[in-house]
Amino acid sequence: MKTTSADRIGRRMAFGALLAGLVLSPARLQPQNAKVPNSKGLPRTADGKPDFSGVYEWPKSSEGERCRCSATVFDRHKFAPFKPGGMPFFEPPTGDPRHDEPREFCMPAGFPSGMLSANAVQFVQGKNYLVIVHEFQRMTRIIPLDGRAHRTGIEATYLGDPVGHWDGDTLVVESTNFKRWGLDDYYYSDKNQYRMHSDALRTVEHIRWQDDKTLSYQLTIDDPKVFTAPWSQDFTMALHPDWDAAGLYEYVCEENNRCPGGKCKGE
* CATH number reported for the structural domain that contains residue 204 in this entry: 2.40.128.20
pLDDT, residue 254, reads: 72
pLDDT, residue 252, reads: 84
User: What domain range includes position 10?
Assistant: 5-258
Q: What is the dihedral of CA 235, 155, 104, 237, to 10 degrees?
A: -10
Which of 110-114, 121-125, 223-227, 254-258 is the least confident region?
254-258
266 domain residue, yes or no = no
Check pLDDT > 80 for residue 216.
yes
Which of 21-35, 130-144, 159-173, 230-244 is the least confident region?
21-35
pLDDT band, very low/low/confident/very high, at 97 (cuts 50, 70, 90): confident
Mean per-residue pLDDT, 26-41: 41
126 domain residue, yes or no = yes
Cα 103 from Cα 141, distance rounded (Å) = 19
Percentage of the chain beyond pLDDT 90 is: 61
Chain Cα centroid distance, residue 122 = 10
**For the chain, what is the mean pLDDT?**
82
264 domain residue, yes or no = no
- Which has more confidence, 170 or 244? 170
Cα 181 from Cα 219, distance rounded (Å) = 17
Amino acid at 30: Q
154 domain residue, yes or no = yes
Mean per-residue pLDDT, 136-140: 94
237 domain residue, yes or no = yes
Whether pTM > 0.85 for this model: the answer is no
Please answer whether residues 259 and 1 qualify as being in contact, where contact means their C-beta atoms are separated by less than 8 angstroms: yes
Neighbours of 22 (CB within 10 A): 17
267 domain residue, yes or no = no
pLDDT, residue 266, reads: 52
Cα 234 from Cα 264, distance rounded (Å) = 38
pLDDT, residue 101, reads: 87
265 domain residue, yes or no = no
Structural domains counted in the chain: 1
Check pLDDT > 60 for residue 259.
no
232 bridge partner residues: 220
Please answer whether residues 218 and 115 qualify as being in contact, where contact means their C-beta atoms are separated by less than 8 angstroms: no
